[in-house]
Amino acid sequence: MTRYESLANTMAAEIRSGSLAVGTRMPSLRQVIAQHGVSQSTAFRAYYLLEEWGLIRAQERSGYYVARGAAVPESREATAKRVLAESAKVDISELVFSVLEAARHPGVVPLGSAFPSPMLFPLQRLAKSLAQTARTVNPWSTVVDLPPGNEALRQQIALRYLGMGLSQRLDEIVVTNGALEALNLCLMAVTRPGDVVAVESPGFYAALQAIERLDLRAVEIPVDSQTGLDLDALEQALDKHPVRACWFMTNYQNPTGATMPLEKKKALVELLARHEVPLIEDDVYGELHFQADYPLPAIAFDRKGLVMHCSSFSKTLAPGYRIGWAAAGKFAEKVQRAKLMTTLSASIPVQAGIADYLQHGGYDRHLRKLRAALRAQLDAMNVALRRYMPKDVKWTCPSGGYFVWLELPETIDALTLHRHAIEQGVSIAPGPIFSAARSFRHCVRINFGHPWNADIDRAVRVLGELVTQAVK
Ligand SMILES: Cc1ncc(COP(=O)(O)O)c(C=O)c1O
Protein backbone atom coordinates (compact mmCIF):
# COMPACT_ATOMS: atom_id res chain seq x y z
CA MET A 1 0.00 0.00 0.00
CA THR A 2 1.35 3.46 -0.86
CA ARG A 3 1.81 6.20 1.73
CA TYR A 4 -1.23 8.17 0.61
CA GLU A 5 -3.45 5.05 0.57
CA SER A 6 -2.44 4.19 4.09
CA LEU A 7 -3.08 7.79 5.21
CA ALA A 8 -6.49 7.75 3.49
CA ASN A 9 -7.32 4.44 5.20
CA THR A 10 -6.44 5.85 8.62
CA MET A 11 -8.65 8.88 8.05
CA ALA A 12 -11.44 6.76 6.58
CA ALA A 13 -11.44 4.62 9.72
CA GLU A 14 -11.83 7.77 11.86
CA ILE A 15 -14.73 8.96 9.73
CA ARG A 16 -16.47 5.59 9.73
CA SER A 17 -16.07 5.17 13.47
CA GLY A 18 -18.07 8.37 13.87
CA SER A 19 -15.27 10.28 15.60
CA LEU A 20 -15.42 12.74 12.72
CA ALA A 21 -19.14 13.48 12.36
CA VAL A 22 -20.93 14.31 9.11
CA GLY A 23 -20.43 17.99 8.28
CA THR A 24 -17.20 18.32 10.31
CA ARG A 25 -14.47 20.33 8.62
CA MET A 26 -11.47 18.12 7.89
CA PRO A 27 -7.99 19.34 8.95
CA SER A 28 -6.41 21.64 6.38
CA LEU A 29 -3.78 20.15 4.09
CA ARG A 30 -1.15 22.07 6.02
CA GLN A 31 -2.31 20.47 9.29
CA VAL A 32 -2.27 16.99 7.72
CA ILE A 33 1.29 17.54 6.50
CA ALA A 34 2.41 18.65 9.96
CA GLN A 35 0.51 15.97 11.92
CA HIS A 36 1.45 12.99 9.78
CA GLY A 37 4.87 14.14 8.53
CA VAL A 38 3.90 13.59 4.89
CA SER A 39 4.55 15.56 1.73
CA GLN A 40 2.03 17.92 0.21
CA SER A 41 1.39 15.54 -2.65
CA THR A 42 0.72 12.62 -0.26
CA ALA A 43 -1.75 14.71 1.75
CA PHE A 44 -3.43 15.91 -1.40
CA ARG A 45 -3.74 12.43 -2.90
CA ALA A 46 -5.12 11.01 0.35
CA TYR A 47 -7.87 13.65 0.35
CA TYR A 48 -8.53 12.97 -3.30
CA LEU A 49 -8.99 9.29 -2.48
CA LEU A 50 -11.32 10.02 0.45
CA GLU A 51 -13.36 12.17 -1.92
CA GLU A 52 -13.48 9.34 -4.46
CA TRP A 53 -14.73 7.00 -1.71
CA GLY A 54 -17.49 9.52 -1.02
CA LEU A 55 -16.33 10.15 2.54
CA ILE A 56 -15.47 13.81 2.18
CA ARG A 57 -16.59 16.69 -0.02
CA ALA A 58 -14.59 19.73 -1.13
CA GLN A 59 -16.27 23.06 -0.56
CA GLU A 60 -14.91 25.86 -2.68
CA ARG A 61 -12.51 28.17 -0.83
CA SER A 62 -13.42 26.58 2.47
CA GLY A 63 -11.75 23.16 2.59
CA TYR A 64 -12.92 19.57 2.97
CA TYR A 65 -15.92 18.36 5.00
CA VAL A 66 -17.15 14.91 6.05
CA ALA A 67 -19.82 13.98 3.49
CA ARG A 68 -23.46 13.08 4.18
CA GLY A 69 -23.92 9.36 4.60
CA ALA A 70 -20.23 8.79 5.33
CA ALA A 71 -20.84 7.79 8.93
CA VAL A 72 -23.17 4.89 8.09
CA PRO A 73 -21.37 1.83 9.49
CA GLU A 74 -19.91 -0.56 6.95
CA SER A 75 -21.30 -4.02 6.48
CA ARG A 76 -18.74 -6.73 7.15
CA GLU A 77 -20.40 -9.41 5.07
CA ALA A 78 -21.54 -9.20 1.48
CA THR A 79 -24.68 -11.21 2.12
CA ALA A 80 -25.18 -10.09 5.69
CA LYS A 81 -28.81 -10.00 6.76
CA ARG A 82 -29.01 -6.34 7.54
CA VAL A 83 -31.48 -3.54 6.99
CA LEU A 84 -30.43 0.07 7.43
CA ALA A 85 -31.66 1.05 10.87
CA GLU A 86 -33.24 4.16 9.38
CA SER A 87 -34.20 5.11 5.87
CA ALA A 88 -31.48 7.28 4.45
CA LYS A 89 -30.97 10.05 1.97
CA VAL A 90 -28.80 8.82 -0.85
CA ASP A 91 -25.55 10.36 -1.99
CA ILE A 92 -23.96 7.93 -4.45
CA SER A 93 -23.77 9.65 -7.83
CA GLU A 94 -20.27 11.13 -7.59
CA LEU A 95 -18.76 7.76 -6.78
CA VAL A 96 -20.68 6.02 -9.57
CA PHE A 97 -19.74 8.66 -12.14
CA SER A 98 -16.06 8.52 -11.22
CA VAL A 99 -16.01 4.72 -11.51
CA LEU A 100 -17.90 4.71 -14.82
CA GLU A 101 -15.77 7.49 -16.26
CA ALA A 102 -12.54 5.65 -15.48
CA ALA A 103 -13.80 2.59 -17.36
CA ARG A 104 -14.78 4.42 -20.56
CA HIS A 105 -11.35 4.73 -22.11
CA PRO A 106 -10.91 2.73 -25.29
CA GLY A 107 -8.50 -0.12 -24.75
CA VAL A 108 -9.70 -0.83 -21.20
CA VAL A 109 -10.95 -4.44 -20.92
CA PRO A 110 -14.57 -3.87 -19.81
CA LEU A 111 -15.03 -6.37 -16.99
CA GLY A 112 -16.77 -3.53 -15.13
CA SER A 113 -19.17 -2.75 -17.95
CA ALA A 114 -22.95 -3.15 -17.67
CA PHE A 115 -23.23 -4.03 -21.38
CA PRO A 116 -22.65 -7.24 -23.28
CA SER A 117 -20.55 -7.15 -26.45
CA PRO A 118 -22.42 -5.38 -29.30
CA MET A 119 -20.94 -8.08 -31.56
CA LEU A 120 -23.47 -10.55 -30.13
CA PHE A 121 -26.40 -8.67 -31.68
CA PRO A 122 -27.95 -9.02 -35.18
CA LEU A 123 -27.16 -5.43 -36.08
CA GLN A 124 -27.30 -5.96 -39.87
CA ARG A 125 -30.69 -7.62 -39.80
CA LEU A 126 -31.98 -4.95 -37.45
CA ALA A 127 -30.70 -2.21 -39.78
CA LYS A 128 -32.66 -3.86 -42.60
CA SER A 129 -35.88 -3.62 -40.57
CA LEU A 130 -35.13 0.00 -39.76
CA ALA A 131 -34.47 0.91 -43.40
CA GLN A 132 -37.58 -0.95 -44.51
CA THR A 133 -39.87 0.80 -42.02
CA ALA A 134 -38.27 4.22 -42.66
CA ARG A 135 -39.19 3.86 -46.35
CA THR A 136 -42.77 2.88 -45.73
CA VAL A 137 -43.59 4.74 -42.52
CA ASN A 138 -46.99 6.42 -42.33
CA PRO A 139 -46.29 10.17 -41.98
CA TRP A 140 -49.05 10.35 -39.38
CA SER A 141 -47.22 7.92 -37.13
CA THR A 142 -45.47 10.88 -35.44
CA VAL A 143 -48.85 11.57 -33.87
CA VAL A 144 -50.39 8.09 -33.77
CA ASP A 145 -47.38 6.50 -32.06
CA LEU A 146 -47.17 8.96 -29.16
CA PRO A 147 -47.42 7.30 -25.72
CA PRO A 148 -48.32 4.62 -24.93
CA GLY A 149 -46.37 3.95 -28.17
CA ASN A 150 -46.32 2.15 -31.52
CA GLU A 151 -49.16 -0.36 -31.53
CA ALA A 152 -47.36 -3.04 -33.56
CA LEU A 153 -44.47 -2.89 -31.09
CA ARG A 154 -46.78 -3.13 -28.08
CA GLN A 155 -48.50 -6.11 -29.73
CA GLN A 156 -45.13 -7.83 -30.15
CA ILE A 157 -44.24 -7.11 -26.52
CA ALA A 158 -47.65 -8.45 -25.42
CA LEU A 159 -46.96 -11.60 -27.47
CA ARG A 160 -43.77 -12.17 -25.54
CA TYR A 161 -45.74 -12.00 -22.29
CA LEU A 162 -48.21 -14.46 -23.82
CA GLY A 163 -45.27 -16.77 -24.52
CA MET A 164 -44.80 -16.89 -20.72
CA GLY A 165 -48.52 -17.56 -20.27
CA LEU A 166 -49.24 -13.99 -19.14
CA SER A 167 -51.90 -11.85 -20.70
CA GLN A 168 -50.92 -8.21 -20.77
CA ARG A 169 -53.32 -5.43 -21.80
CA LEU A 170 -51.96 -3.35 -24.69
CA ASP A 171 -53.05 -0.07 -23.09
CA GLU A 172 -51.04 -0.89 -19.96
CA ILE A 173 -47.77 -1.22 -21.92
CA VAL A 174 -45.96 2.14 -22.20
CA VAL A 175 -42.97 2.31 -24.56
CA THR A 176 -40.02 4.26 -23.16
CA ASN A 177 -36.42 5.26 -23.85
CA GLY A 178 -34.90 2.08 -22.48
CA ALA A 179 -35.76 0.31 -19.24
CA LEU A 180 -34.04 3.01 -17.24
CA GLU A 181 -36.63 5.57 -18.25
CA ALA A 182 -39.43 3.06 -17.60
CA LEU A 183 -38.12 2.47 -14.07
CA ASN A 184 -37.71 6.19 -13.39
CA LEU A 185 -41.20 7.04 -14.70
CA CYS A 186 -42.74 4.30 -12.55
CA LEU A 187 -40.92 5.66 -9.53
CA MET A 188 -42.13 9.19 -10.28
CA ALA A 189 -45.68 7.88 -10.73
CA VAL A 190 -45.91 6.44 -7.22
CA THR A 191 -43.73 8.67 -5.02
CA ARG A 192 -43.35 12.26 -3.85
CA PRO A 193 -40.19 13.92 -2.49
CA GLY A 194 -39.33 12.63 0.98
CA ASP A 195 -41.03 9.22 0.48
CA VAL A 196 -39.26 6.01 1.47
CA VAL A 197 -38.39 3.48 -1.25
CA ALA A 198 -37.12 -0.05 -0.59
CA VAL A 199 -34.17 -1.06 -2.75
CA GLU A 200 -31.85 -4.03 -2.85
CA SER A 201 -28.47 -4.19 -1.15
CA PRO A 202 -26.38 -4.75 -3.13
CA GLY A 203 -28.50 -3.30 -5.92
CA PHE A 204 -28.37 -1.52 -9.27
CA TYR A 205 -26.77 1.90 -8.70
CA ALA A 206 -29.23 3.66 -11.04
CA ALA A 207 -32.00 2.93 -8.51
CA LEU A 208 -29.97 4.78 -5.90
CA GLN A 209 -29.29 7.63 -8.31
CA ALA A 210 -33.01 7.94 -9.15
CA ILE A 211 -33.81 8.09 -5.43
CA GLU A 212 -31.15 10.73 -4.95
CA ARG A 213 -32.42 12.79 -7.90
CA LEU A 214 -36.08 12.66 -6.84
CA ASP A 215 -35.20 13.55 -3.23
CA LEU A 216 -36.54 10.27 -1.87
CA ARG A 217 -35.16 8.15 0.95
CA ALA A 218 -33.84 4.60 0.59
CA VAL A 219 -34.21 1.64 2.87
CA GLU A 220 -31.85 -1.11 1.80
CA ILE A 221 -33.01 -4.74 1.90
CA PRO A 222 -30.31 -7.43 1.85
CA VAL A 223 -30.02 -9.72 -1.15
CA ASP A 224 -28.85 -13.31 -0.87
CA SER A 225 -26.48 -14.00 -3.74
CA GLN A 226 -28.36 -17.24 -4.60
CA THR A 227 -32.03 -16.65 -3.89
CA GLY A 228 -32.30 -12.88 -4.03
CA LEU A 229 -34.17 -10.56 -1.71
CA ASP A 230 -34.49 -11.30 2.01
CA LEU A 231 -38.26 -11.30 2.51
CA ASP A 232 -38.10 -11.31 6.31
CA ALA A 233 -36.00 -8.17 6.22
CA LEU A 234 -38.47 -6.64 3.76
CA GLU A 235 -41.37 -7.46 6.05
CA GLN A 236 -39.59 -5.81 8.98
CA ALA A 237 -38.86 -2.75 6.84
CA LEU A 238 -42.52 -2.53 5.78
CA ASP A 239 -43.57 -2.63 9.45
CA LYS A 240 -41.03 -0.06 10.49
CA HIS A 241 -41.00 2.45 7.63
CA PRO A 242 -43.75 4.10 5.57
CA VAL A 243 -42.44 2.43 2.39
CA ARG A 244 -44.19 3.94 -0.67
CA ALA A 245 -42.61 1.77 -3.37
CA CYS A 246 -40.14 -1.07 -3.94
CA TRP A 247 -37.64 -1.31 -6.79
CA PHE A 248 -36.39 -4.90 -7.06
CA MET A 249 -34.94 -7.35 -9.58
CA THR A 250 -36.34 -10.86 -9.39
CA ASN A 251 -34.31 -12.46 -12.22
CA TYR A 252 -30.50 -12.35 -12.63
CA GLN A 253 -30.17 -9.51 -10.18
CA ASN A 254 -27.59 -6.83 -10.86
CA PRO A 255 -24.95 -7.16 -9.39
CA THR A 256 -25.20 -10.63 -7.78
CA GLY A 257 -26.88 -12.59 -10.60
CA ALA A 258 -29.37 -14.03 -8.06
CA THR A 259 -32.81 -15.24 -9.17
CA MET A 260 -35.67 -15.51 -6.72
CA PRO A 261 -37.36 -18.94 -6.74
CA LEU A 262 -40.98 -18.86 -7.94
CA GLU A 263 -42.42 -19.40 -4.46
CA LYS A 264 -40.45 -16.45 -3.19
CA LYS A 265 -41.67 -14.20 -6.02
CA LYS A 266 -45.24 -15.21 -5.18
CA ALA A 267 -44.66 -14.51 -1.47
CA LEU A 268 -43.15 -11.13 -2.35
CA VAL A 269 -46.20 -10.10 -4.37
CA GLU A 270 -48.55 -11.28 -1.61
CA LEU A 271 -46.59 -9.42 1.06
CA LEU A 272 -46.65 -6.19 -0.92
CA ALA A 273 -50.35 -6.64 -1.74
CA ARG A 274 -51.11 -6.89 2.00
CA HIS A 275 -49.33 -3.58 2.52
CA GLU A 276 -50.71 -2.06 -0.72
CA VAL A 277 -47.15 -1.15 -1.77
CA PRO A 278 -46.35 -0.97 -5.51
CA LEU A 279 -43.46 -3.02 -6.88
CA ILE A 280 -41.30 -1.66 -9.68
CA GLU A 281 -39.89 -4.88 -11.10
CA ASP A 282 -36.68 -4.45 -13.10
CA ASP A 283 -36.42 -7.48 -15.38
CA VAL A 284 -33.96 -6.39 -18.07
CA TYR A 285 -32.05 -9.69 -18.04
CA GLY A 286 -35.03 -12.10 -17.91
CA GLU A 287 -34.69 -13.15 -21.58
CA LEU A 288 -31.07 -14.18 -20.99
CA HIS A 289 -31.91 -17.46 -19.24
CA PHE A 290 -29.63 -20.48 -19.55
CA GLN A 291 -32.33 -23.00 -18.61
CA ALA A 292 -35.17 -23.83 -21.01
CA ASP A 293 -37.70 -21.19 -20.02
CA TYR A 294 -37.97 -17.57 -19.00
CA PRO A 295 -38.15 -17.61 -15.17
CA LEU A 296 -41.60 -16.12 -14.51
CA PRO A 297 -41.32 -12.57 -13.13
CA ALA A 298 -43.23 -11.40 -10.04
CA ILE A 299 -45.86 -9.70 -12.21
CA ALA A 300 -47.14 -13.21 -13.03
CA PHE A 301 -48.57 -13.37 -9.48
CA ASP A 302 -50.02 -9.87 -9.37
CA ARG A 303 -53.79 -9.70 -8.87
CA LYS A 304 -54.07 -6.06 -7.82
CA GLY A 305 -52.25 -4.24 -10.64
CA LEU A 306 -49.55 -3.19 -8.14
CA VAL A 307 -46.59 -4.57 -10.10
CA MET A 308 -44.96 -2.45 -12.79
CA HIS A 309 -42.82 -4.75 -14.90
CA CYS A 310 -40.01 -2.91 -16.73
CA SER A 311 -37.73 -4.26 -19.41
CA SER A 312 -36.09 -3.34 -22.71
CA PHE A 313 -34.32 -4.58 -25.81
CA SER A 314 -31.02 -3.03 -24.66
CA LYS A 315 -29.53 -6.25 -23.25
CA THR A 316 -30.99 -8.65 -25.77
CA LEU A 317 -31.18 -7.05 -29.19
CA ALA A 318 -30.49 -3.39 -29.74
CA PRO A 319 -28.26 -1.74 -27.12
CA GLY A 320 -28.09 1.82 -28.46
CA TYR A 321 -31.64 1.99 -29.77
CA ARG A 322 -33.02 2.92 -26.36
CA ILE A 323 -36.34 1.10 -26.58
CA GLY A 324 -37.86 -0.27 -23.39
CA TRP A 325 -41.26 -0.45 -21.75
CA ALA A 326 -43.24 -0.60 -18.55
CA ALA A 327 -46.21 -2.94 -18.19
CA ALA A 328 -47.54 -0.67 -15.52
CA GLY A 329 -50.81 -2.23 -14.32
CA LYS A 330 -53.09 0.25 -12.61
CA PHE A 331 -50.41 2.94 -12.80
CA ALA A 332 -50.20 2.80 -16.61
CA GLU A 333 -52.01 6.07 -17.19
CA LYS A 334 -49.84 7.92 -14.68
CA VAL A 335 -46.71 6.48 -16.28
CA GLN A 336 -47.95 7.40 -19.74
CA ARG A 337 -48.59 10.99 -18.60
CA ALA A 338 -45.17 11.19 -16.93
CA LYS A 339 -43.67 10.03 -20.25
CA LEU A 340 -45.56 12.74 -22.17
CA MET A 341 -44.44 15.39 -19.69
CA THR A 342 -40.76 14.43 -19.68
CA THR A 343 -39.47 13.20 -23.05
CA LEU A 344 -42.78 13.06 -24.96
CA SER A 345 -42.11 9.81 -26.78
CA ALA A 346 -39.53 7.19 -27.66
CA SER A 347 -38.11 7.58 -31.19
CA ILE A 348 -40.97 6.75 -33.53
CA PRO A 349 -39.03 5.31 -36.52
CA VAL A 350 -36.97 3.15 -34.12
CA GLN A 351 -40.12 1.77 -32.44
CA ALA A 352 -41.45 0.83 -35.88
CA GLY A 353 -38.11 -0.74 -36.90
CA ILE A 354 -37.93 -2.91 -33.80
CA ALA A 355 -41.58 -3.94 -34.24
CA ASP A 356 -40.74 -5.06 -37.79
CA TYR A 357 -37.68 -6.99 -36.59
CA LEU A 358 -39.71 -8.75 -33.90
CA GLN A 359 -42.29 -9.76 -36.51
CA HIS A 360 -39.95 -10.88 -39.29
CA GLY A 361 -36.32 -10.87 -38.08
CA GLY A 362 -36.02 -14.12 -36.17
CA TYR A 363 -35.77 -12.75 -32.61
CA ASP A 364 -36.18 -16.15 -30.94
CA ARG A 365 -33.46 -17.70 -33.08
CA HIS A 366 -31.15 -14.80 -32.19
CA LEU A 367 -31.98 -15.18 -28.48
CA ARG A 368 -31.13 -18.89 -28.55
CA LYS A 369 -27.71 -18.08 -30.03
CA LEU A 370 -27.13 -15.24 -27.59
CA ARG A 371 -27.98 -17.39 -24.56
CA ALA A 372 -25.68 -20.17 -25.79
CA ALA A 373 -22.84 -17.65 -26.28
CA LEU A 374 -23.30 -16.19 -22.78
CA ARG A 375 -23.44 -19.67 -21.26
CA ALA A 376 -20.13 -20.57 -22.96
CA GLN A 377 -18.59 -17.29 -21.82
CA LEU A 378 -19.66 -18.01 -18.23
CA ASP A 379 -17.92 -21.39 -18.44
CA ALA A 380 -14.74 -19.71 -19.71
CA MET A 381 -14.97 -17.09 -16.94
CA ASN A 382 -15.33 -19.82 -14.31
CA VAL A 383 -12.26 -21.61 -15.62
CA ALA A 384 -10.22 -18.38 -15.60
CA LEU A 385 -11.39 -17.39 -12.11
CA ARG A 386 -10.51 -20.84 -10.76
CA ARG A 387 -7.12 -20.57 -12.39
CA TYR A 388 -6.15 -17.03 -11.40
CA MET A 389 -7.93 -16.17 -8.14
CA PRO A 390 -6.53 -17.05 -4.73
CA LYS A 391 -8.42 -19.84 -2.94
CA ASP A 392 -10.33 -17.66 -0.48
CA VAL A 393 -12.14 -15.72 -3.25
CA LYS A 394 -15.78 -16.78 -3.77
CA TRP A 395 -18.05 -15.97 -6.67
CA THR A 396 -21.60 -16.62 -7.80
CA CYS A 397 -22.61 -18.86 -10.69
CA PRO A 398 -25.78 -17.30 -12.15
CA SER A 399 -28.26 -19.20 -14.30
CA GLY A 400 -28.63 -16.27 -16.71
CA GLY A 401 -27.53 -12.73 -17.48
CA TYR A 402 -23.84 -11.85 -17.70
CA PHE A 403 -22.55 -10.85 -14.27
CA VAL A 404 -20.65 -12.69 -11.58
CA TRP A 405 -20.25 -11.25 -8.10
CA LEU A 406 -16.95 -11.86 -6.35
CA GLU A 407 -16.42 -11.81 -2.60
CA LEU A 408 -12.74 -11.12 -1.94
CA PRO A 409 -10.94 -11.47 1.39
CA GLU A 410 -12.32 -8.82 3.73
CA THR A 411 -9.06 -6.92 3.94
CA ILE A 412 -9.28 -5.99 0.27
CA ASP A 413 -10.66 -2.63 -0.67
CA ALA A 414 -12.52 -2.90 -3.99
CA LEU A 415 -12.14 0.82 -4.79
CA THR A 416 -8.37 0.56 -4.45
CA LEU A 417 -8.42 -2.63 -6.51
CA HIS A 418 -10.47 -0.79 -9.14
CA ARG A 419 -7.87 1.99 -9.38
CA HIS A 420 -4.98 -0.44 -9.63
CA ALA A 421 -6.84 -2.50 -12.24
CA ILE A 422 -7.60 0.61 -14.33
CA GLU A 423 -3.89 1.46 -14.29
CA GLN A 424 -3.36 -1.93 -15.92
CA GLY A 425 -6.12 -1.45 -18.49
CA VAL A 426 -8.86 -3.47 -16.76
CA SER A 427 -12.17 -2.14 -15.43
CA ILE A 428 -14.24 -3.76 -12.67
CA ALA A 429 -17.40 -2.61 -10.90
CA PRO A 430 -16.45 -2.19 -7.21
CA GLY A 431 -18.99 -3.25 -4.57
CA PRO A 432 -19.56 0.16 -2.89
CA ILE A 433 -21.29 1.57 -6.00
CA PHE A 434 -24.11 -0.92 -5.38
CA SER A 435 -25.10 0.37 -1.96
CA ALA A 436 -26.27 3.67 -0.48
CA ALA A 437 -24.19 2.89 2.60
CA ARG A 438 -21.17 2.11 0.38
CA SER A 439 -20.97 -1.37 1.84
CA PHE A 440 -19.53 -4.42 0.03
CA ARG A 441 -16.07 -2.89 0.13
CA HIS A 442 -14.51 -6.28 -0.52
CA CYS A 443 -16.83 -7.27 -3.40
CA VAL A 444 -16.71 -6.66 -7.14
CA ARG A 445 -19.00 -7.36 -10.09
CA ILE A 446 -17.46 -8.60 -13.30
CA ASN A 447 -19.01 -8.96 -16.73
CA PHE A 448 -18.80 -12.08 -18.90
CA GLY A 449 -20.85 -10.62 -21.76
CA HIS A 450 -17.94 -10.55 -24.23
CA PRO A 451 -16.74 -13.42 -26.42
CA TRP A 452 -13.72 -14.96 -24.70
CA ASN A 453 -10.33 -13.83 -26.02
CA ALA A 454 -6.72 -13.38 -24.91
CA ASP A 455 -7.36 -9.83 -23.62
CA ILE A 456 -10.12 -11.01 -21.30
CA ASP A 457 -8.01 -13.91 -20.11
CA ARG A 458 -5.16 -11.48 -19.40
CA ALA A 459 -7.56 -9.12 -17.58
CA VAL A 460 -8.72 -11.89 -15.22
CA ARG A 461 -5.09 -12.89 -14.65
CA VAL A 462 -4.19 -9.25 -13.81
CA LEU A 463 -7.08 -9.12 -11.35
CA GLY A 464 -6.00 -12.39 -9.78
CA GLU A 465 -2.47 -11.03 -9.37
CA LEU A 466 -3.69 -7.77 -7.83
CA VAL A 467 -5.88 -9.64 -5.36
CA THR A 468 -3.04 -12.03 -4.50
CA GLN A 469 -0.65 -9.11 -3.88
CA ALA A 470 -3.22 -7.26 -1.78
CA VAL A 471 -3.77 -10.20 0.59
CA LYS A 472 -0.07 -10.74 1.19
C1 LIG B 1 -30.43 -3.80 -13.76
C2 LIG B 1 -30.57 -2.83 -14.87
N3 LIG B 1 -31.75 -2.22 -15.07
C4 LIG B 1 -31.91 -1.33 -16.06
C5 LIG B 1 -30.88 -1.01 -16.90
C6 LIG B 1 -31.11 0.00 -17.97
O7 LIG B 1 -31.59 -0.59 -19.14
P8 LIG B 1 -31.73 0.24 -20.47
O9 LIG B 1 -30.38 0.29 -21.11
O10 LIG B 1 -32.73 -0.48 -21.29
O11 LIG B 1 -32.22 1.61 -20.10
C12 LIG B 1 -29.64 -1.62 -16.73
C13 LIG B 1 -28.50 -1.26 -17.59
O14 LIG B 1 -27.37 -1.38 -17.25
C15 LIG B 1 -29.48 -2.56 -15.69
O16 LIG B 1 -28.32 -3.18 -15.47
Distance CA 172, CA 158 (A): 10
Whether ligand 1 lies within 6 angstroms of the CB of 302 is answered as no
Ligand 1 centroid to 397 CA: how many Å? 20
| Beta strands in 271-385, from DSSP E residues, in sequence order | 279-282, 307-312, 324-327
What structural domains and CATH numbers belong to the chain?
Answer: 3-71 (1.10.10.10), 98-119+365-471 (3.90.1150.10), 122-362 (3.40.640.10)
Distance CA 179, CA 177 (A): 7
pLDDT of residue 70: 60
Distance CA 378, CA 396 (A): 11
Closest-CA residue, ligand 1 atom 5, reads: 180
Query: Nearest-CA neighbor of 271 among 308, 241, 231?
Result: 231
pLDDT of residue 76: 32
Distance CA 82, CA 391 (A): 27
DSSP code, position 447:
E
Distance CA 184, CA 416 (A): 31
Ligand 1 centroid to 180 CA: how many Å? 6
Q: Which residues of the chain are modeled with pLDDT < 50?
A: 71-85
pLDDT of residue 79: 40
Ligand 1 centroid to 207 CA: how many Å? 10
* The ligand 1 atom nearest the CA atom of 182: 11
Phi, psi of 282 (to 5 degrees): -95, 110
pLDDT of residue 377: 97
pLDDT of residue 60: 74
Compute the CA torsion angle 133, 368, 174, 264 (nearest 10 deg): 180
Distance CA 432, CA 256 (A): 13
* The ligand 1 atom nearest the CA atom of 319: 9
Burial-class residue 235 by CB neighbours within 10 Å (0-12, 13-18, 19+): middle
Query: For the segment 342-398, what is each residue's pLDDT rounded down to a tens digit?
Result: 999 999 999 999 999 999 999 999 999 999 999 999 999 999 999 999 999 999 999
The residues, any chain, with a CB within 8 Å of residue 293's CB and separated by 6 or more, are 164
Pocket test for ligand 1, best of 186, 251, 254 (most atoms within 8 A of CB): 254
Pocket test for ligand 1, best of 187, 284, 309, 446 (most atoms within 8 A of CB): 284
Ligand 1 centroid to 117 CA: how many Å? 15
Burial-class residue 368 by CB neighbours within 10 Å (0-12, 13-18, 19+): exposed
pTM: 0.83
Distance CA 425, CA 334 (A): 45
* The ligand 1 atom nearest the CA atom of 204: 1
Closest-CA residue, ligand 1 atom 6, reads: 180
CB 61: neighbour CB atoms within 10 A? Answer: 5
Whether ligand 1 lies within 6 angstroms of the CB of 283 is answered as no
Ligand 1 centroid to 204 CA: how many Å? 8
Whether ligand 1 lies within 6 angstroms of the CB of 310 is answered as no
Query: For the segment 206-251, what is each residue's pLDDT rounded down to a tens digit?
Result: 999 999 999 999 999 999 999 999 999 999 999 999 999 999 999 9
Query: Nearest-CA neighbor of 96 among 211, 260, 247, 215?
Result: 211
Ligand 1 centroid to 220 CA: how many Å? 19
